[in-house]
Amino acid sequence: MKHQTFYRSLLIFITFALLFCGGCSSIPREELAIDQHLIPEESDPGVFTDQSDSPCSYFYFLWGTHAENNTLYNEAEEAFEKALICDPDSSYVLRKLPILLIRMGKQDGAEKWLRTLIEKFPNDTQDRLLLARLKIRSGKIDAAIQLYTELIELNPLDETMLLRLGFLYAEQNRFIEAEQTFHQALSINNGSLFAHLYLARLAIQTEEMEKAATWYEKALAINWSTDLALEIAEFYNMQKNYKRVELLYRAILENQPDDLPAGLGLVHTLLLQDKEKDALQILADLRKSSDDSNQIDIIAARLYLRSKNLEKAAAILEPIATPQGSAEAAYMLAVIRYQQKNFEVALDLLQTIKEDYVNFGDSILLQIRILLEQKKNDKALQLIHQTLDNENTATPELYTLLSSLYMEQKQPQKGYDILDIALIKYPDNAKIYFEYGLLLEQDTLQQKAIVYMEKVLELEPNHAEALNYLGYTWADNNVNLEKALEYIQKSMLLNPGNGYIQDSLGWVYFRMGKLDLAIKEILAALQLEPDDPHIHEHLGDIYMVQGDKKKAKEAFKKAEQLFSTTNNKARVQEKINALK
């Protein structure tokens, strides 16, 4: 029924067309214009004013146009192809067909017809333009570059084509050609905003920051705009030129006092210059015109927290830290009350936070921490189970936390069971494997622990803690020493300034017989962790092998004082006795 209606309306349309055209002399422009949204700023409706002496071609063209307007694209394609059989040189049909094919998702077909058009009309630009856009869309940048090069050969003074070509060169990291092309555009129009802007961005790509600054400033002088000023401010921020960043943000705010991105950018810049008072004043000004005063208040509270002024931060947060207010404010205020040891208030605040809050997991972890510090382990376990039972709130971190709690309660099997469940849900989670390894280590199942730690590195090769564990364990067992050294050194690069990793490095040097290096690293570890008894014991072990009994005894005595368990104290005391 739909097709019968279509053909009836088409016949009426054609009848009227023939009556008014008097035998097809000219083609109505409104029927033949290329859709603007398909090739914006590149279409030229003037090319469709060609004359055609073929009634057959025009008949099928009208048929195809009507079918296209009714979204009968396959029928339209067939009609346009028949029109071309009647008149192979009909430019208006040739140009209509690629647009239709693009709509149908037939890019290869569209490209084929565009190539035909280029061969028939080599001096026209729009066909190459559309083909270049299709090439860019399909990632064939080199082909697009060739097409733009041909377009520039046809019109060497086309600034827009030069800018597009330069942009593509830059995308392909062909920086010299890109720079030459942008300068060519400048030779045509010395005041070209985009030529200056693209040269600035190109200089950033080639890490020529002084050049970038020069081109940016020239671009801003040509046409000052908020968007450009924001981009340049970000550039200077990366260069740590905070004074220039501040001036740019202030210039934006002079024109648009309620510009939130510029205002917050200025606040950030002032903080980097330790101008907290000025930053607070900017926030106060922004609050007057902001539609979201809560956001401004939260930022102000963070500023006070930064300067350790907990009560001023709390005073700002309290009015908005309500069940109907801001979850972020409630969480921040809860953290403040936790730091002040006001646990009950903190818990009350945390319990108002709903699961759709982006940091809901952190709020649960803080509740658990508070309950554990209050020695309410049963409530902590209950909260963990309750959270894990909800698919929307369960996290790998909660599984590992629950497992460690069972281990502390001397229930290792429950810990393993929980981690087994976690691995079913998160089979590729390195954190769970790491915690499993630690649990096995605590349970004196070291060989199994090693297997799990190796799995961690398979999933996450730069896991600093797993690298350190394996390196230290191998060194402690006096095996795989070269590999142990490699792992520990890599761990140090990933996590510099860690005293425990530094101790591992000293220990592997000790096992390798490099005693001077060992002492150097152990002493460095003690600078970072002066109260760790194991590091003092390691230092004593090295001095003892060197034959320096006095220093060894001092190190062992310090270790014995710091150890809290009877077994550890007894072990070190035996070493002290052996020195007598």
pLDDT digits (tens, 9 = 90+) for 520-533: 999 999 999 999 99
Vertex 107 angle, CA 162 and 61, to 5°: 100
Confidence tier at 26 by pLDDT (50, 70, 90): very low
The Cα–Cα gap between 332 and 327 comes to 9
The Cα–Cα gap between 261 and 9 comes to 55
Would you mind telling me the total number of residues written for the chain in this entry?
A: 580
More confidently predicted of 76 and 483: 483
Residue 83 has pLDDT above 90, yes or no: no
Instruction: Compute the radius of gyration of the chain from its Cα atoms.
Output: 37
CB–CB of 24/52 below 8 Å?
Answer: yes
How much is the pTM?
0.58
CB–CB of 303/280 below 8 Å?
Answer: yes
- 103 by Cβ neighbours in 10 Å (0-12 / 13-18 / 19+) ranks as middle
Tell me what pLDDT residue 34 has. 30
Do the domains spanning 1-154 and 293-394 agree at the CATH topology level?
yes
Q: Give 530-555 pLDDT, tens digit per residue.
A: 999 999 999 999 999 999 999 999 99
Over range 459-479, report the average pLDDT.
96
The two structure tokens encoding residue 68: 């296209």
Please name the amino acid found at residue 37: H
Cβ count within 10 A of residue 526: 21
Tell me what pLDDT residue 96 has. 87
Sign for the CA dihedral angle at 482, 484, 487, 491 comes to: negative
Over range 68-93, report the average pLDDT.
87
Tell me what pLDDT residue 309 has. 87
Over range 100-109, report the average pLDDT.
90
CB–CB of 336/366 below 8 Å?
Answer: no
CB–CB of 12/66 below 8 Å?
Answer: no
Confidence tier at 464 by pLDDT (50, 70, 90): very high
The two structure tokens encoding residue 502: 């530094």
CB–CB of 329/297 below 8 Å?
Answer: yes
Tell me what pLDDT residue 39 has. 34
Nearest to residue 48, comparing CAs of 95, 100, 115? 95
Tell me what pLDDT residue 94 has. 86
Tell me what pLDDT residue 315 has. 92
The Cα–Cα gap between 419 and 274 comes to 46
Tell me what pLDDT residue 141 has. 92
Nearest to residue 95, comparing CAs of 167, 5, 157, 27? 27
What percent of the chain is modeled with pLDDT above 70?
Answer: 91
Instruction: Classify each residue of 116-130 as buried b or exposed e, where b means 16 or more C-beta atoms within 10 Å of its C-beta.
Output: bbbeebeebbbbbbb
- Long-range Cβ pairs for the range 460-468 (8 Å, 24+): 460/430, 462/490, 462/494, 463/430, 463/434, 464/490, 464/491, 464/494, 464/495, 464/498, 464/501, 465/434, 465/491, 465/495, 466/430, 466/434, 466/437, 467/491, 467/494, 468/495, 468/498, 468/500, 468/501, 468/504
Nearest to residue 333, comparing CAs of 298, 292, 365, 368? 298
Q: Which CATH superfamily is domain 1-154 in?
A: Tetratricopeptide repeat domain (1.25.40.10)
Q: Around 533, how many Cα atoms within 13 Å sit in the side-chain half-sphere?
A: 15
CB–CB of 188/216 below 8 Å?
Answer: no
What percent of the chain is modeled with pLDDT above 90?
Answer: 63
Sign for the CA dihedral angle at 175, 181, 185, 188 comes to: positive
Helix then strand count (H, E) for the chain reads 33, 0
The Cα–Cα gap between 518 and 511 comes to 9
Tell me what pLDDT residue 294 has. 86
More confidently predicted of 300 and 467: 467
Confidence tier at 558 by pLDDT (50, 70, 90): very high
The architecture (CATH level 2) of 293-394 comes to Alpha Horseshoe (1.25)
More confidently predicted of 447 and 67: 447
Over range 340-348, report the average pLDDT.
94
Residue 291 has pLDDT above 90, yes or no: no
Over range 1-20, report the average pLDDT.
42
Over range 494-506, report the average pLDDT.
95
Rounded to the nearest integer, the mean pLDDT of the chain is 87
First to last CA, the chain: 109
Vertex 473 angle, CA 467 and 478, to 5°: 125
The Cα–Cα gap between 468 and 473 comes to 8
Vertex 39 angle, CA 33 and 45, to 5°: 25
The three-state secondary structure class of 313 is helix
Tell me what pLDDT residue 463 has. 96
Q: Give 201-249 pLDDT, tens digit per residue.
A: 999 999 999 999 999 999 999 999 999 999 999 999 999 999 999 999 9
Please name the amino acid found at residue 241: N
Tell me what pLDDT residue 351 has. 93
From residue 87, alpha-carbon distances to 81, 94, 122, 424 in Å are 10, 10, 19, 67
The residues spanned by each domain of the chain are: 1-154, 293-394, 531-580
Over range 341-349, report the average pLDDT.
94
- 292 by Cβ neighbours in 10 Å (0-12 / 13-18 / 19+) ranks as exposed
Tell me what pLDDT residue 469 has. 96
